[in-house]
Each structure stands twice: as C-alpha cells, then as structure tokens.
Amino acid sequence: MQKLEVGYTEYMKETLNALNSGLLLVSADKEGRPNVMTIGWGSIGVIWGRPMFVVMVRPSRFTYGLIEQSGEFTVNLPPRELAETVAFCGSVSGRDCDKFRERGLTSVAARSVKSPLIEECLVHYECRVVHKNDVLPKELFTDIVSEFYPSGDFHRVYFGQITSVSASPEISGK
C-alpha cells in the first residue's frame, strides 16, 4: 500500500503509546540483509534543533553490531494484529534466525536510509545516528542498576536524527 510522507509529530502519540507493547526496529548488514528487533524504550523529541528518535540497544543484541556498522535504523509502528510477531522479534535473535522470513514480514526500501521499512507496519521513522553514548553505571540511580542491569550489558543510547517519516493511510482507522 502507498505510504504517505508525514511530519515527525503526526503520529507521535500513537508511537509512544505503542512502546508499552513494542515497536519494531530494523537495521541491516553491509549486504543489505535486514534484521528486526522489538524495542520498548525510546523517545521522540528535538535535539540540536533536529527531530530525533532516541533508542537504547544492549551490546548483546545482534542489532547492536548492525547499527554500529551502518549508523542507521528505522523504527516501525506495528498494527495490533502483529502482536505475536512483536513478541517473537523481542525474544529471538537475528543471529539464529531470519525473522523477516520466519514471520512473513515484507521489507521495503526506505526513502532516505539503507535500513528498510516493514511494509505491514503503519508508521515508519527513518533515522541516521548522529550521536551515541553508553549508560554509565556510576551515573545511574542504584535502584535502576539493580533492577535493569543485574548482569551488566548496559545499553548504548543511539540518537537517530529522523530523516523521513511515512505512514499508511489506514492508520487513522486503527
């Protein structure tokens, strides 16, 4: 279905609400092979005067190496019908499985980055990493460290400048 380019704030509420169940982050390797992982933490805002999607990826994820290599990712808002796929992409690694093939997802070219979009999703954010840094244990509230990092694997925080946003016309009916 034809996707229309929209402003980055257009579906911000729907996108941030969906973090409760999970958004789908896509990155790709040098050959263009895509991988998808579920994210539950993230933020959309303005930093350095640019629209930004901030995501947090643990070094243990296959996705981590792909973003490190490519410096790009897309974030895709799934429809409710993809709930099982969201759970799957949040528990299985792209090291062990082609999640696109396994879940019958269609990868389509993005407008401004090499990481593809997921056709079956409703809203798509194309992002170019303009900054990254790591969560520093000594700068973090100790209760957060013990709750979320019992075995380390501290997230890397990626600041993805939003270079294009597109949406499926059917989202207004969802």
Ligand X SMILES: Cc1cc2nc3c(=O)[nH]c(=O)nc-3n(C[C@H](O)[C@H](O)[C@H](O)COP(=O)(O)O)c2cc1C
Q: Which is nearer to ligand X, 11 or 158 (CB)?
A: 158
Q: How far is the CB of 22 from ligand X (least distance, A)?
A: 4
The Cα 7–Cα 55 span in angstroms is 19
33 binds ligand X (CB under 6 A): no
Contacts of 44-47 with CB under 8 Å at 24 or more apart are: 44/8, 44/9, 44/12, 44/15, 44/16, 44/125, 44/162, 47/159
Q: State the residue for tokens 């056709």.
A: 119
Q: Write the binding mask 85 to 104 for ligand X: x where contact by CB under 6 A, - elsewhere.
A: --x--xxxxxx---------
The span of 83-91, 128-136, 142-150, 159-167 binding ligand X (CB under 6 A) equals 83-91
Select the residue interacting with ligand X from 39, 82, 105, 110 (CB under 6 A).
39
- Judged by the rule CB under 6 A, the positions of this chain that interact with ligand X are 22, 35, 37-41, 56-58, 61-63, 87, 90-95
